[in-house]
Chains A and B, each alone.
Chain A
């Protein structure tokens, strides 16, 4: 190609990459030069083929999926890694302020209570509601303490509720612990007191009888929001 207009300008013109004034100049030349028109046609054909190439890349779909899966796996892995480095200790992750070693102690205490109960067939009871307490007889299980000698706050940790089921009368106002016990749902209020009593005295229905054959151990932690209730089925142990 020997034209003064230059192949580079025609190449730019083929892709509309020339400013308007230069494009006009090329167009005037093309009108007179068949050689440059042929070059322009070939450039346009190549450009068209390139665009068709992009449209025919269906084989890339499978590769794209592979890439996507790899990237997602990598991202997930990095997210998990980042999360694991941010995870607080187990006791904090549970949302309780109680350290994990106290949970362990509580579990040991609960196990000890269970062992005592299995060996003696008796268990410490949570308090009964007043109307039941009035009708029930005290059932001594563990050495009773005076009602007003509740364990001090410092010793409440892993302590088992030691209160006896006793008539309300003459015992003074209930302790805060008894109030906690009263908030329990009905099945949990059932106790060995009911279990040890002759059924005729309560005359429970079938459902109530089943409920009353369970026993509840209550474990108090130093966190007033955390109280552990251990429900024990007592059927068949007598």
Chain B
């Protein structure tokens, strides 16, 4: 079971799990307030995943909107929140793939620096980092940038496994990839990310 699911088990308790099932059920019956609560429960998960996959907040916003509209039209196919979450990840990845492809067709992917500027973050190269900035903060920024050098499959696998905390098998199910292949993608993504960070921190890879 994924870490997020384990976390839900331990922190929410049975009552909250029942409440979530009830939420899905109420939303299926047209309860608009229940649907909005479902949105609030999952919006960070969907939006965060989309943002890491696409690297641009504006695109992530469009992707998340599309995902939730699809969720609304497919509500009847969920019998509980447990089935909803993997479905949300799968649709998020697919929608982001489509958006990413369209973006590349429109004129290529934006540079990482531009992505960061678009998202309201100040972009700093490793050389320009303030001396007082901690090594960990620097690494964090580089990791975020490094995600964009990965292939679509590698990025999705790494985000779902290391950022969202799903198991490798769950990631494989979501992406429609066999267990051995998904582990290969995960390992490859980790290695590339390590190399990206190490190169930019002035260390020998």
| B167 to chain A: closest residue by CB | A17
Known contacts: A8-B187, A14-B190, A54-B163. The answer to whether A72 contacts B36 by CB under 8 A is: yes
Tell me, yes or no, whether A139 is within 8 Å of chain B by CB. Answer: no
Contact A53 B163 (CB under 8 A): yes
Known contacts: A53-B140, A70-B65. The answer to whether A75 contacts B35 by CB under 8 A is: yes
Tell me, yes or no, whether A7 is within 8 Å of chain B by CB. Answer: yes
Contact flags B31-75 to A (C-beta < 8 A → 1, else 0): 010011001100110011001100001001100110011001000
A57 → B minimal CB distance (Å): 6
B16 → A minimal CB distance (Å): 21
User: Which residues on A sit within 8 Å (CB–CB) of B121?
Assistant: 59
Known contacts: A42-B194, A49-B136. The answer to whether A76 contacts B32 by CB under 8 A is: yes
Contact residues on A (Cβ < 8 Å of other chain), bracket? 35 or more
Q: A47-B162, A53-B52 are in contact. List 6 more A-B contacts (CB 8 A).
A: A15-B161, A50-B163, A53-B163, A54-B163, A67-B68, A68-B36
The residue in A52, A53, A74 that gathers the most chain B C-beta atoms within 10 A of its C-beta is A53
Contact B190 A51 (CB under 8 A): no
| B140 to chain A: closest residue by CB | A49
Binding site for A on B (CB under 8 A): 30, 32, 35-36, 39-40, 43-44, 47-48, 51-52, 57, 60-61, 64-65, 68-69, 72, 119-121, 136, 139-140, 142-144, 146, 158, 161-164, 168, 183-184, 186-188, 190-191, 193-194, 197-198
Supply 21 A–B pairs (Cβ within 8 Å), ascending by A.
A11-B186, A11-B191, A17-B161, A42-B197, A46-B146, A49-B142, A49-B143, A50-B158, A52-B136, A52-B140, A53-B52, A54-B48, A54-B164, A59-B120, A63-B47, A63-B60, A67-B47, A67-B65, A72-B35, A74-B69, A79-B30
User: Which residues on B sit within 8 Å (CB–CB) of A53?
Assistant: 52, 140, 143-144, 163
A contact face: mostly helix, strand, loop, or mixed: helix
Contact A60 B44 (CB under 8 A): yes
The 3 tightest CB contacts between A and B, nearest first, are A11-B187, A11-B190, A64-B43
| B63 to chain A: closest residue by CB | A67
A13 → B minimal CB distance (Å): 9
Known contacts: A15-B186, A70-B65. The answer to whether A50 contacts B162 by CB under 8 A is: yes
Tell me, yes or no, whether A228 is within 8 Å of chain B by CB. Answer: no
Contact B43 A67 (CB under 8 A): yes
Contact A46 B51 (CB under 8 A): no
Contact A64 B162 (CB under 8 A): no
What total count of A-B pairs have CB within 8 Å?
A: 120
Tell me, yes or no, whether A155 is within 8 Å of chain B by CB. Answer: no
Q: How far is the CA of A138 from the CA of B47 in the complex (A)?
A: 81
B5 → A minimal CB distance (Å): 16
Q: How far is the CA of A91 from the CA of B100 in the complex (A)?
A: 52
B44 → A minimal CB distance (Å): 6
Tell me, yes or no, whether A71 is within 8 Å of chain B by CB. Answer: yes
Instruction: Report which of B30, B47, B139 forms a contact with A49, defined as CB distance below 8 A.
Output: B139
Contact flags A63-107 to B (C-beta < 8 A → 1, else 0): 110111011101110010000000000000000000000000000
Tell me, yes or no, whether A231 is within 8 Å of chain B by CB. Answer: no
Q: How far is the CA of A63 from the CA of B65 in the complex (A)?
A: 11
User: Which residues on B sit within 8 Å (CB–CB) of A57?
Assistant: 44, 48, 51
User: Which residues on B sit within 8 Å (CB–CB) of A72?
Assistant: 32, 35-36, 39
Q: Which A212-232 residues sit within 8 Å CB-CB of chain B?
A: none
Contact A46 B48 (CB under 8 A): no
User: Which residues on A sit within 8 Å (CB–CB) of B44?
Assistant: 57, 60-61, 64
| A70 to chain B: closest residue by CB | B65
